[in-house]
Structure 1
């Protein structure tokens, strides 16, 4: 399906190295050289493009709808993430790019008969394809899957998302098998592994952590088949708690030469191609009022009691008058609002040239160690995994403080103290462990702070499935909840009209048969 539907779609060029085979921003099967390409030549570009998609496309929507970001002063917007008026043109690339990049990984997997010795490459392609399809089902529910990647099917059927999820877990099993039982003449990973540099043990940890994330999507499901799936999968995962312990980074050689060769955060939220001005996304995006009050320590209600200024706040947002000033979503601010901090976009240094180099060459982050620890904390608190939930909660906070204490390029940062912070928040409801009547609330709140900006789409999904942290709605919206899903893109209604379900704006705000599986 997507091999044909998207092969003519020119997407934003995400990154190319000096070798043109890294340019996989469109389907490759119609290229004259495709047959001769090996998985080794295809892998780096596919992984990098997915990383850009997660950070920029999915992250932009997630940060907005999860109230991390608002509008800067001097800007107005009709963004549906703030108006709650959605249609088929709203955030279309969340769907389209997810399929495009899933298909890039499928292109690699389709090479197995021709190149059987690339087992490790196929393992990476499997887990990355699963991540792409996970976001399709979480954001849209039913979707093409069983017929989606066939080169001969131009109008694939839509599968029930409750049948896609078990298939994704089987794909993760296959990903593991590629690493644990490779072909006898397996070719080792080299520089094309832009994530772990050929360390297969780390890839196995990552696969386990991705599975943990997907299993927790099922934390509140009442579907009998999915409950059984959750129980059986957790039993296996619990017996081998081998998860990510360090930040998972991506860097194929980011540099300052062109806009598309720069690390994704800097390219989107740093400087324009000529380094003459901040990008429009840098200028327009600012702190959301909820996130601002949370890190300022001024959020005190029945759900969260703070009173603690978060030491990470100036590395998340800029300060205005010594504090983070947030935008109430739905209101156009007329006074100065805190912007994205330089720690996020990376443009900082002794002079402009050094600052641009620091930002442009910085690693991208596929997953933070903090997320791994908070996933484990939640799973343990819910009884899905054995072990101390509090220990993983503390480890998650500590990992986040370490993340925000880590310099890059020429930048060295003063270390932030997680021990003092954990002690100061311990008695605070919804923020610290001991004082929280609902431990899941505390886990989700700390996860929200740790992943804010860096993985906004996870914050949105977490909020939708757990209710935490409790987020206010944008001012003036005609809804009582956040949208449970998105509407399928215009491209589907025009090219696959016989199969794509009709979804109305009203159906986004109720739980119904079209609501994604994890909310039913």
Structure 2
């Protein structure tokens, strides 16, 4: 994969993201990567959104291991570096490369939207750039930002400070919102918007929800308190609100049961003929998450995992890094609430995540609303999104005195909100679970790898810059100094 800096601006505007596990997307606009093709922003948008869906659902399998959701199968032997956190800068380089490639697509939408006087598309491009840049900051810290996405105009882009980028992301989202408001009566992408179908009010709520995520990342930084209050006041003044029940930010370009046209996560686990793939055989249930679900009599256990032994009630898993491996037939597979179907949408930001964030923000006093009501709505939405029922959620929430279920009985309501949020992200949004864990240390008893060679008993707080940067932007990236995966913290980590 080429570095973002070595690909021309015109090509990257229509370049298909080489997503892990996906060979060629059916929305690819330019089938010949050596021929530059002009495309309107309206035509680039669905491909970019589809790539974002694939990126978020298939790039972070390893975080399901770290976050206690999945473990490697006993039928496979894996590298020690995959079990003891001692990875290198070749580890998951696609997170960086594919992220920047798709950012180029959104930058094209932004720029061409401006050139063609299409403020709705321009606003969408700006908002989605903020979405992807936050993921990169949260993964690596300081990254190329102001000099990024310029092609040959800046082939060795400088690195911006992570906090400076965060502050500018809020400004870019605000600029996107202003364009969306300005765009009334102008060209709407309609069905080419495969996330919201051209529903601008939902785009506005999505943008505010993205701002909510960015701001909540910084709650543990005392020096950011005044800034957060100001920004939350601006969100309230906007009047747009946040994504609510039934309002998943999700994409579906027309997934179908054909080669390379399935839902990207489902297609990674099941072939077109329905047979399990190698990925399916590699990843199985983690005993930690199973224990949490069993202790609280959580019916989502059958959404996140499949029973073993044909009984329908026996769920079994192993701990990450264990030397006591078990063969596949004795360990639960990943369940139907995660692998929801070949033609189901790919989620970019779920409605239940939005509600959990609102519950936390209300509990902290940042927004109006009743924390308990928002918390219960979030749990209920998690049930619905995983294929369970709202009635089951009501029964589950009625368990008096059960830790991290009964909100009234909770002595640490933030911990209860975040623990339930962690449950809801099982296999679906491990990046957000990792981010909350780095920010708040929750769940507090999340186990460390049991691999005996694990010398630093700590879940990493970041990834290394990829080898491609050291090959093509060596002077700049080396100026970042020696990076340690355990101590080189992202700025918002306490």
Report the more deviating stretch, 43-52 or 479-488: 479-488
After the TM superposition, which residues 477-496 of structure 1 pair with which residues of structure 2 at under 5 Å, given as runs? Answer: 477-496=454-473
What's the TM-score, normalizing by structure 2? 0.90
1:448 aligns with 2:422: yes
2:395 is matched with 420
Helix, strand or coil for the counterpart of 2:187? coil
1:199 aligns with 2:187: no
Q: Distance in 1 between matches of 2:16 and 2:456?
A: 35
Of residues 334, 340, 357, the one that matches 2:326 is 334
Asked if the contact 2:42/2:192 (under 8 Å) is kept, the reply is yes
Q: Distance in 2 between matches of 1:339 and 1:162?
A: 40
After the TM superposition, which residues 291-330 of structure 1 pair with which residues of structure 2 at under 5 Å, given as runs? Answer: 291-297=289-295, 308-320=296-308, 322-330=313-321
1:91 is matched with 92
- Cα shift at 1:23: 6.7
Q: Distance in 2 between matches of 1:389 and 1:15?
A: 44
After the TM superposition, which residues 209-358 of structure 1 pair with which residues of structure 2 at under 5 Å, given as runs? Answer: 209-222=209-222, 224=223, 226-239=224-237, 240=239, 242-245=241-244, 246=246, 247-258=248-259, 260-269=260-269, 271-273=270-272, 275=273, 277-297=275-295, 308-320=296-308, 322-332=313-323, 333-335=325-327, 336-346=330-340
Distance 1:467 1:81, change over 3 A: farther
Q: Distance in 2 between matches of 1:199 and 1:289?
A: 42
- Cα shift at 1:15: 5.6
- Cα shift at 1:287: 1.3
Q: Distance in 2 between matches of 1:79 and 1:22?
A: 40
- Cα shift at 1:112: 3.3
Distance 1:364 1:434, change over 3 A: same
Helix, strand or coil for the counterpart of 2:422? helix
* CA RMSD in angstroms, aligned pairs only: 2.3
Q: Distance in 1 between matches of 2:186 and 2:89?
A: 45
2:362 is matched with 380
Q: Distance in 1 between matches of 2:409 and 2:240?
A: 28
Q: Distance in 2 between matches of 1:343 and 1:178?
A: 36
1:303 is matched with none
Gaps of 5+ in 2: none
Asked if the contact 1:14/1:261 (under 8 Å) is kept, the reply is no
Gaps of 5+ in 1: 298-307, 347-358, 407-413
Report the more deviating stretch, 494-503 or 139-148: 494-503
Asked if the contact 1:196/1:202 (under 8 Å) is kept, the reply is yes
- Cα shift at 1:380: 1.0
After the TM superposition, which residues 436-475 of structure 1 pair with which residues of structure 2 at under 5 Å, given as runs? Answer: 436-470=410-444, 471-475=446-450
Q: Distance in 1 between matches of 2:114 and 2:385?
A: 42
2:163 is matched with 162
Q: Distance in 1 between matches of 2:469 and 2:193?
A: 33
Distance 1:391 1:146, change over 3 A: same
After the TM superposition, which residues 82-161 of structure 1 pair with which residues of structure 2 at under 5 Å, given as runs? Answer: 82-116=83-117, 118-151=118-151, 152-161=153-162
1:369 is matched with 351
- Cα shift at 1:11: 1.9
After the TM superposition, which residues 35-74 of structure 1 pair with which residues of structure 2 at under 5 Å, given as runs? Answer: 37-58=39-60, 60-74=61-75
Of residues 2, 5, 20, the one that matches 2:4 is 2
Asked if the contact 2:303/2:387 (under 8 Å) is kept, the reply is no
Helix, strand or coil for the counterpart of 2:348? strand
Report the more deviating stretch, 62-71 or 440-449: 62-71
- Cα shift at 1:32: 2.6
Q: Distance in 1 between matches of 2:59 and 2:80?
A: 14
1:16 is matched with 25
